[in-house]
Amino acid sequence: MFCQRIVWFSVAMLTAVPGFSNDLIDPFAAKKFETRKAERGDWSFQDGVASVVSDPALYKKYSNHGPILKWAVDCSQGKTIFGMKPSGCQRVVFTLNGDGHVFRISLINPEKAMSPWQKKSTSRMIAWAEKSSKTNKGDSLQPQGFPSLSALDDRWTQVSIAIDGDTALVRIGEFQTEIQHEAMQREKTEITISFASGSLQVRDFGFRSTKTDT
Query: To the nearest whole percent, how much of the chain has pLDDT over 70?
Result: 85
Stated pTM of the model: 0.88
Region of residue 64 (phi > 0: left; psi between -120 and 50: alpha; otherwise: beta): left
Contact 124, 146 (CB under 8 A): yes
Q: What is the CATH number of domain 15-209?
A: 2.60.120.560
pLDDT in tens, the chain (214 residues): 334 444 444 333 333 333 334 689 999 999 999 999 999 999 999 999 999 999 999 988 989 899 999 999 999 999 999 999 999 999 999 999 999 999 999 999 988 766 655 666 789 999 999 999 999 999 999 999 999 999 999 999 999 999 999 999 999 999 999 999 999 999 999 999 999 999 999 999 999 999 876 5
**CA–CA separation, 112 and 17 (whole Å):** 38
Q: What residue ranges do the domains of the chain occupy?
A: 15-209
Pick from 74, 107, 26: nearest CA to 191: 74
Contact 22, 211 (CB under 8 A): yes
